[in-house]
Amino acid sequence: MHEKVTHQVTCVGVVTLDALALVDQYPACDERVVAQTIRFAGGGPAATAAVVLARQGVKVSFVGRVGDDEAGREALNQLESEGVNVSGVERSRTVATQTSCVIVAEQAQTRAISTLQVPPLNGLTLAAQERIAASTWVHADHLGFAPLADFLRGLHRRPLVSLDAGNPVAGLDLTMVDLFVPTVESLGSTAGIGDDPTAAAKAVMNHGTAAVVATDGARGSFAWWGDRSTIAAAAETGTAFAPAATGVDIVSTLGAGDVFHGGLLAALCRGESWSEALRSANWTAALSCRALDGRSAVPTLDELRAAIGAA
């Protein structure tokens, strides 16, 4: 049975088209290695989160920019095939679609990425503004936040804002953020308190942010909200990337953080408690690691619940 979720979410930021190669180990200088597989797949923090939301039954739009090129058309086709609305995407004749080359080393379970540098959005199309204004939640990545915040400041009543802060965020204004989702490292950098995640989270929340969820790789996620603080124990939530905790055979962790963000927001839209939402997000991210790319193994809601129930 598929659960109907009435909330509407708009994801704002980056979409990419990636060339991925799975190798046993990284090549040395001037060395040629034979890949186990090579594939092309869509990526980008905000765009991948949108795919997760769509696959788990949430009505979702993506707002960003692609070039008027083959890569841009393919990137949007992939989003539309997942049920993501792309009517608010800007198609630029002056900026190329962001593309990346990714090498995933199986033995080390790490990856190396080379990507084009693409300027951030300068503003939002009228269609994008309409999508955002009609949303319950807006989820932005590091390149989507500044234009989003500029637009939201002019609204009488704005949607809730979730921010992927795993990368440095230009124009960061914590008073505009309801759900702040950094890595543990970037949380410490933002707050200027690098060795105490709880103190860093409280410092962020003193600026008005209602909740902080920090991801910590194989150790899972940490969450703070309201006037309470909790650490999400692995036994309760599973972890985002650790095979030992979830029983998932890991192929690649590429995009798992972006998947976590989408899974967390999808769970909140379903009305799950914080404890349930963290567990759902960690399991969604873990299951996505079954594939080389960050999207193809993202579970539907039925698949997610079956995996959690069988654990």
Helices (H) and strands (E) in the chain, counts: 11, 13
Output the tens digit of pLDDT for each of the chain's 311 residues: 345 555 799 999 999 999 999 999 999 999 999 999 999 999 999 999 999 999 999 999 999 999 999 999 999 999 999 999 999 999 999 999 999 999 999 888 788 999 988 777 888 999 999 999 999 999 999 999 999 999 999 999 999 999 999 999 988 999 999 999 999 999 999 999 988 888 999 899 999 898 999 988 777 788 888 744 443 333 233 333 343 456 788 888 889 999 999 999 999 999 998 888 888 998 999 899 899 999 999 999 999 999 998 87
Q: Which residue has the tokens 């008005």?
A: 208
E-strand stretches of the chain: 8-13, 16-23, 37-43, 59-67, 90-92, 98-105, 110-115, 137-140, 160-164, 179-181, 211-215, 221-225, 228-230
Query: Do 270 and 263 meet the contact criterion of CB atoms below 8 Å apart?
Result: no
Candidates 141, 168, 2, 180; CA nearest to 62 is 141
Q: Which domains does the chain have, with CATH numbers?
A: 8-310 (3.40.1190.20)
What residues are paired with 12 via a beta bridge? 63, 140
Instruction: Give the Å distances, CA to CA, from 134 to 47, 137, 241.
Output: 19, 9, 34
